[in-house]
Amino acid sequence: MKSIKLIILFSIYLLINSCITQFIPETDEYQELLVVEGLITDQYGINSIKLSKSLPLWEKRNTVKPLKGCTVKITDDQGHTYMVPETKTSGTYQTNPATFKGVVGRKYTLHVSSNNALPTHYSYESLPMEMKPVPPIDSVYYEKKTIKESYDGISSDEGCQIYLNTHDPANQSKFYRWEYSETWKFKLPYDVTNNVCWISNNSNVINIKSTLDLTQDRIYRYPLTFISNKTDRLNEKYSILVNQYSLNEDEYVYWEKRQKITENVGSLYDITPAALPSNIYCIENPNETVLGYFSVSAISSKRIFIKDHFSGLIDRYIDCNHDTIFQGERNTYPAGSWWVIIDYIDPLYPRLSYKVITLDKGCADCTVRGTNTAPDFWIEGK
């Protein structure tokens, strides 16, 4: 009886496995897809369209492949056409800042002809997008935030939390997005030629908020960004410029989904194509997947400066001092591998003169990290 049961079970196993065939799903992730990142506003000089190709799954992630050589133009519902030529940066197309800016209330359509940039010479269009007005930002402000309490109960490490308040008196905006650019001054602790510089960065996170479910179109204490004391942003002086955009509901859904996905997997180039909606389609093949979004919005901006004392700030230059070479001593380091950060000359006892050297050029020249030219907007006394 036991043998019969084993034979039956073995027969069932063979029958089941004989019915199994390998399933290979068809997916766009094996193709190079068009990626569009575009924004036009009602301001001159900041209207850019970035075109690139997504990578198939087996290729290295987070590698951007700019799409150069395309023909790009923007049309509006008033019959105007604006050519968007490619800049010196491959894959970046920019409107002429002297002749183009968006107008609130008009609808804009993006047109892209891939020419020889893609295997298929397709053309792409966005849906007509209306430029919505945006209310002004009420305020951008900061508060010190305790990071770590000290053992003595007196001092503590502090970071900086930046908040934003805004509202729409007309109660019409409902969907908001923010970008910011930050600039900070830093100073080397040595009397060298380039010891004061500035660094600028653009935000790389998605900041969005909806007031659809609120009784008022008002946003209070939105936590825009946190500045850790583990950077040198707060050591000297810091500035942040916040740009506010007004979205329609479809675009808000796009940014909301992109926010959730990129927080888990990384950049736009890591995203499964079907996971994100897009307002761009292929004319010749409407079923082709296109990544990205063509955004149209008015813009309101506000800048603040922060010059305050924060406890526990990092000292980036604590390990700069590598060696001290006294007068008459031989320097055994290879030429070009060291820089002088202190050059002390004793007029009475020359043999006591010395040089302090570093092997890190960033300790002797601030232009390794930034620029020694102050930005036009920088106000030193503010």
Per-residue pLDDT reduced to its tens digit, 178-205: 999 999 999 999 999 999 999 999 999 9
Angstrom CA distances, 224 to 8, 84, 204, 253, 267, stand at: 66, 32, 12, 19, 20
Alpha carbons 121 and 114: distance in angstroms, whole number:
6
Alpha carbons 243 and 225: distance in angstroms, whole number:
13
Residues 71, 37, single domain; the answer is yes
Residue 99: pLDDT band with limits 50, 70, 90: confident
> Per the structure block, which two tokens stand in for 66?
């700019």
What pLDDT score does 147 carry?
78
> Per the structure block, which two tokens stand in for 195?
């010891």
Alpha carbons 101 and 95: distance in angstroms, whole number:
8
Question: pLDDT tens digits, residue range 302-337?
Answer: 999 999 999 999 999 999 999 999 998 988 899 899
**Count of domains for the chain:** 3
What pLDDT score does 156 carry?
73
For residue 206, being part of any structural domain is answered with yes
For residue 5, being part of any structural domain is answered with no
Residues 177, 236, single domain; the answer is yes
Residues 175, 84, single domain; the answer is no
Whether residue 17 is predicted with pLDDT greater than 70 in this model: the reply is: no
Residues 242, 142, single domain; the answer is yes
DSSP state of 136: P
For residue 376, being part of any structural domain is answered with no
Residues 239, 281, single domain; the answer is no
Residues 153, 282, single domain; the answer is no
Residue 65: pLDDT band with limits 50, 70, 90: confident
Q: What percent of the chain has pLDDT over 90?
A: 67
> What is the domain range of residue 330?
323-359
Residues 237, 147, single domain; the answer is yes
Considering the entire predicted model, what is its pTM?
A: 0.83
Whether residue 262 is predicted with pLDDT greater than 80 in this model: the reply is: no
Helix (H, G, I), strand (E, B) or coil at 381: coil
Residues 47, 189, single domain; the answer is no
Whether residue 273 is predicted with pLDDT greater than 80 in this model: the reply is: no
Whether residue 11 is predicted with pLDDT greater than 90 in this model: the reply is: no
Q: What is the mean pLDDT of residues 77-86?
A: 95
What pLDDT score does 20 carry?
43
Nearest to 315 by CA among 229, 257, 193: 229
> Per the structure block, which two tokens stand in for 331?
């320097």
Residues 123, 270, single domain; the answer is yes
Alpha carbons 207 and 258: distance in angstroms, whole number:
11
Q: What is the mean pLDDT of residues 122-149?
A: 93
Residues 106, 163, single domain; the answer is no
Residues 254, 353, single domain; the answer is no
Residues 146, 242, single domain; the answer is yes
